[in-house]
Chain A
């Protein structure tokens, strides 16, 4: 059995591989099979909607051209596009997206990551990450304003002295205050990370943009 072809192919090749797959992959799949998987529409919450609407106020022409109105549907679209860019640019190779229960990480970033946070279509495949050149991003949402993000993506060193992060001018039409669709989508995605948590920084209660933009003297 140990040196003949069928033993090697079937037991060594197929059998042990299947054993490892069943014990290491199928077990967590079964353990988590009752956890619902959310779509991008379902993960849109008040906090990310606030940021999305804020983007439409700060960069009105760019936003109109890219997404039109800051609705929840468009926010979900932006999240999907933003995530594709996050993957395509290799962001996940320098930034992680899980907080470990060790090494003071919960003091630095926020609550330790839970399985439920990854049960959505925006974590297919899951963006755990394996390296931190830059900080973990899973609780990044709301920590910086959208204007900080535009300048940071355009030229990281200008807001973060000594940062080794590359520049991304192709997310913009020439200047940081003219983000393109890609730039807006990526910022939306980053502002979404961690927005589902209790610990998300609350600036103010969410007020729908129509109310916020309405002229109080019009009443």
Chain B
């Protein structure tokens, strides 16, 4: 017996400590800087939304809604979402692999380099240097830097994963694949249609790029983090390993084949368009298995949705993910496309997934992690709740409003009404969307105020508390 306990004791001492694995300051920095970009993105969104309802009294070149629309999308994708992912991965990967990331100085270099990339992108777009690739408006002279950054991120995070021995947890499959995919996708989209492939074939590649960004960068990292956080917060394992396998491999195979669905009815060859439609519907089926898996995990713990706020954020996002993908499977069919392509229906779809899914997931992660990072419970759970309800309510109203707007616009166009019928008929929908957006912004203000107050509390020695243990915040 003695040798066993000795070995056990030795193992316990060798077991890596959280403080050695996770650089909490870096995680904090990433989340805070991400919130700054979210603020910048909101300015862009507001400028565009206000322009559409005729409120732009000062047409200054540097406030032009056209340019700020591109800042809106790029600040959210590369500013907010990318930084949130990097922060969350700096927490999750070392804890999952029980190994540090490759190099601490590299991690900090990547942090600063990535902010340079994003800020230069915003400044470049502001001064009219955008590249003509949707979601790839990063000016061409920044693209190589961004690509190098993505390579460094992959190397930094793959090191601990590859050094892992034994069976890999599902999150790590998603993370590994995402690092490869993000690098390849970024290179493909930003360089091929501009420099190597003209016209319609370039359009096919642009379509692949738009979708691969969502499906091979944001989605796998997002779901990987869900597979990580949900079992911890529910204190239960994921319901089905088999469905995890189906989910990952289904995504890996079908998602890259979707891309051309962004350009249906263009001169891209028709058989490729049919292929993209079929692949999209296949993805919806794969997504359904993942949703079943997560709700199977929740089964029996439904009360957590009320008491456990991070779980509520996560599962709300998952429900909205299911809605988005179901909507996608319908709207991708050529029949639906006739009506809704080019309309606000698609804009609603994009906002539902980017905000209603991934951003809500990030808020869940932040709600869970900030008290741990700051060693301080939230200043006000009331503000946390307001944050949730304003965000959720805002995005649902925005989504439904833009879906209806899209249907109206589609019918105005198909029935050959003069073009002003289209934008005059859209005006009420654009007004509602503006208020939905303001609700979302108010929710974020609640969060930022809450975060600021919590940070102030954590700083003052009188109220500093002991490190929070891994119980769910209630």
Contact = CB atoms under 8 A, between A and B. Distances in A.
Interface of A: 2-5, 8-9, 11-14, 16-17, 19-21, 23-25, 27-29, 31-32, 35, 37, 84-85, 87-94, 96, 98, 100-105, 107-108, 113-115, 117-121, 123-135, 160-164, 166-170
B122 to A, nearest CB: 13
A131 B349 CA distance: 13
Given A24-B208, A98-B267, A164-B51, A119 B199 contact: yes
A100 B201 contact: no
B56 A166 contact: yes
B180 A5 contact: no
Given A24-B275, A27-B272, A89-B128, 13 more contacts: A28-B269, A32-B200, A87-B132, A100-B266, A100-B338, A102-B338, A103-B338, A128-B203, A130-B134, A130-B263, A133-B423, A166-B56, A169-B59
Interface string B437-456: 00000000000000000000
B346 A131 contact: yes
Nearest to B178: A13
Interface of B: 51-54, 56, 59, 61, 64-67, 69-70, 128-134, 161-162, 167-168, 173, 176-177, 179-181, 184-185, 188, 192-195, 197-206, 208, 212, 216, 245, 248-249, 252-253, 256-257, 259-260, 262-263, 265-269, 272, 275-276, 337-339, 341-343, 346-347, 409-410, 413-416, 419-420, 423-424, 430
A87 B168 contact: no
Contacts of B177: 8-9, 12-13
Contacts of B204: 24-25, 28
B208 A29 contact: no
A126 B200 contact: yes
B64 A128 contact: no
B80 to A, nearest CB: 19
B130 A90 contact: yes
Contacts of B216: 17
A49 to B, nearest CB: 23
Contacts of B265: 98, 100-102
Contacts, number: 229
B161 A5 contact: yes
B266 A128 contact: yes
Nearest to B194: A125
B132 A24 contact: no
Contacts of A28: 200-201, 204, 268-269, 272
B257 A24 contact: yes
A101 B420 CA distance: 22
12 contacts: A12-B173, A23-B275, A25-B197, A27-B269, A28-B272, A32-B199, A85-B128, A88-B130, A90-B67, A125-B206, A126-B200, A161-B420
The 8 closest A-B pairs by CB, nearest first: A20-B256, A88-B128, A13-B180, A90-B66, A118-B199, A125-B193, A100-B265, A12-B252
Contacts of A117: 267
Nearest to A19: B256
B335 to A, nearest CB: 10
A8 B256 CA distance: 15
Interface centre among A19, A20, A96, A167 (most CB of B within 10 A): A20
A130 B176 contact: no
A22 B56 CA distance: 46
Nearest to A132: B342
Contacts of A127: 132
Contacts of A119: 198-200
B70 A126 contact: no
Interface centre among B162, B193, B266 (most CB of A within 10 A): B266
B203 A126 contact: yes
Given A108-B416, A120-B198, A93 B66 contact: yes
A124 to B, nearest CB: 5
A90 B272 contact: no
A124 B346 contact: no
Contacts of B267: 98, 113-115, 117-118
Contact of B66 (A84, A89, A114): A89
Contacts of A90: 64, 66-67, 69-70, 130
Contact of B206 (A104, A128, A164): A128
Contact of B198 (A105, A107, A124): A124
Contact of B200 (A105, A118, A161, A162): A118
Nearest to B192: A25
A118 B66 contact: no
Contacts of A23: 257, 272, 275
A73 to B, nearest CB: 22
A105 B416 CA distance: 8
Contacts of A12: 173, 177, 248-249, 252
